[in-house]
A and B are shown apart, each in its own frame.
Chain A
Amino acid sequence: MALHFELVTPAKLVRSEDVHMVVVPGAEGEFGVLEGHAPFMSTIRDGAVQVYKTEGGAPETIEVRGGFAEVGDKGLTVLAEHVEG
């Protein structure tokens, strides 16, 4: 049971891995994505994407600016214009 998570910027593919859960700062509020999430698309505001590699583990945060998130059959794809760090 894993969610395929991809974080892409214009410059490169930052992440492409299987994780437990990702919390995305959506334009209308944060939302968490687990495996099997319904198809969903949202713009995101500047903030931190929290990646939970395992259930209950400490999240890894990635600062992103500008972009949107898409949940489909293949998992979660976050397209961001800038990624800090």
Chain B
Amino acid sequence: MASLKELKGRINSVKSTQKITKAKQMVAAAKLRRAQAAAEAARPYAERLSGVMASLAGKVSGDSAPKLLKGTGSDKRHLLVVVNTDKGLCGGLNANIVKAAKAKARELIAEGKDVSFYLVGKKGRAPIKRDYANRIEKHFDTSDVRTPGFEEAEAIADDLIERFEKGEFDVAHLVYPIFKSALAQDPTVDQLIPVPSPEGDAGTAGDAVVEYEPGEEEILEELLPRYVKTQLFGSLLEREASEQGASMTAMDNATRNAGDLIQKLTIQYNRSRQAAITTELIEIIAGAEAL
């Protein structure tokens, strides 16, 4: 049985841990609201862009299509762009992303493809390095900016497209969490390059003849890198929201666990205190009776 002093010390230490987790939870809740708003604000652009893409991609096909759309012609070398968070304390989020990435990697390797990794965010490095140390192409650091914005997405996209143009890989997949709610963030794998032809030619202009300036192909060529950027930007925003959501849930759990622990320790503390008092009383009574 721990002494009273030891118990008191434990209770105090758990209490201060609880204070920290509670503070982190509230910070995450506040940031989540902002991240969600940012993710929502980015949606119109992505929607319009894919609408335009859909109507254009249907018109430009065959050999004249840009490389980003039709690919290099082979699908031997795959690049997995894994978007992880920079900070921990967000429960199983990063573990889940890494798990999804590794599953995809295993699947591709089993098919006899070459797989390499392009890591965004700090927290994916260690676990992926453990299994695929020599397959990591690059770490992209987003930890030095407070909220990754379009500049970062642009930098990543430019780098990726440059590598693609140089022929360093044939297919790129993007692995990132999709924010469903504070409780659920689903890791998702999407094909990034070559740009998958958008489904359903909804055609923003209907059947009307659209005039293009300079030309369909030139516009498409401009559009594709922009589309890749938007995809990456979206994934960064989803990551941000997911991180805060997961963090909020994890910290809520931690706070509750700390509360349970404090309660248990307090009961134990009171029991031993009472036991000590009882022993003391018995001693006094026994002493008095002996007289």
A interface residues with partner B (beta carbon < 8 Å) = 6, 8-13, 26-28, 38-43, 66-68, 70, 72-74, 77, 79, 81-82
Given contacts A10-B233, A72-B204, contact A38 B45 (CB under 8 A): no
Q: Check if A40 sits within 8 Å of B42, measured CB to CB.
A: no
B38: CB under 8 A from chain A?
A: yes
Shortest C-beta distance, A75 to chain B (Å), equals 11
Shortest C-beta distance, A34 to chain B (Å), equals 15
Given contacts A43-B214, A73-B205, contact A79 B219 (CB under 8 A): no
Total B residues in contact with A, Cβ cutoff 8 Å: 31
For the complex, what is the distance from the CA of A11 to the CA of B52, rounded to whole Å? Answer: 18
Q: Check if B42 sits within 8 Å of A72, measured CB to CB.
A: no
* Chain A hits for B42, CB < 8 A: 10-12
Q: Check if B213 sits within 8 Å of A27, measured CB to CB.
A: yes
Given contacts A8-B44, A11-B150, A68-B219, contact A38 B52 (CB under 8 A): no
Q: Check if A42 sits within 8 Å of B150, measured CB to CB.
A: no
For the complex, what is the distance from the CA of A13 to the CA of B38, rounded to whole Å? Answer: 11
Q: A41's contact among B49, B206, B212, by CB below 8 Å, is which?
A: B212
For the complex, what is the distance from the CA of A40 to the CA of B212, rounded to whole Å? Answer: 6
Tell me the residues in window 216-230 of chain B with beta carbons closer than 8 Å to chain A beta carbons: 218-219, 222-223, 226, 229-230
Q: B38's contact among A9, A11, A70, by CB below 8 Å, is which?
A: A11
Q: Check if A42 sits within 8 Å of B213, measured CB to CB.
A: yes
Q: Check if A70 sits within 8 Å of B41, measured CB to CB.
A: no
Q: Which of A10, A26, A42 has the most CB of B within 10 A?
A: A10
For the complex, what is the distance from the CA of A8 to the CA of B219, rounded to whole Å? Answer: 18
Closest to A42 in B: B213
Q: Check if A72 sits within 8 Å of B213, measured CB to CB.
A: no
Main secondary structure of the interface of A (DSSP, over half): strand
Given contacts A10-B150, A39-B210, A41-B212, contact A70 B45 (CB under 8 A): no
Q: Check if A27 sits within 8 Å of B214, measured CB to CB.
A: yes
* Chain B hits for A72, CB < 8 A: 204-206, 210
Q: A13-B44, A39-B205 are in contact. List 17 more A-B contacts (CB 8 A).
A: A8-B44, A9-B45, A10-B230, A11-B149, A12-B41, A26-B213, A40-B211, A41-B210, A41-B211, A41-B212, A41-B213, A42-B214, A68-B52, A72-B206, A72-B210, A79-B52, A81-B150
Given contacts A10-B233, A72-B204, contact A79 B211 (CB under 8 A): no
* Chain A hits for B218, CB < 8 A: 43
B209: CB under 8 A from chain A?
A: yes
A–B pairs, 12, beta carbons within 8 Å: A10-B150, A10-B230, A12-B42, A28-B213, A39-B210, A40-B213, A41-B52, A41-B212, A43-B222, A68-B52, A68-B219, A70-B205
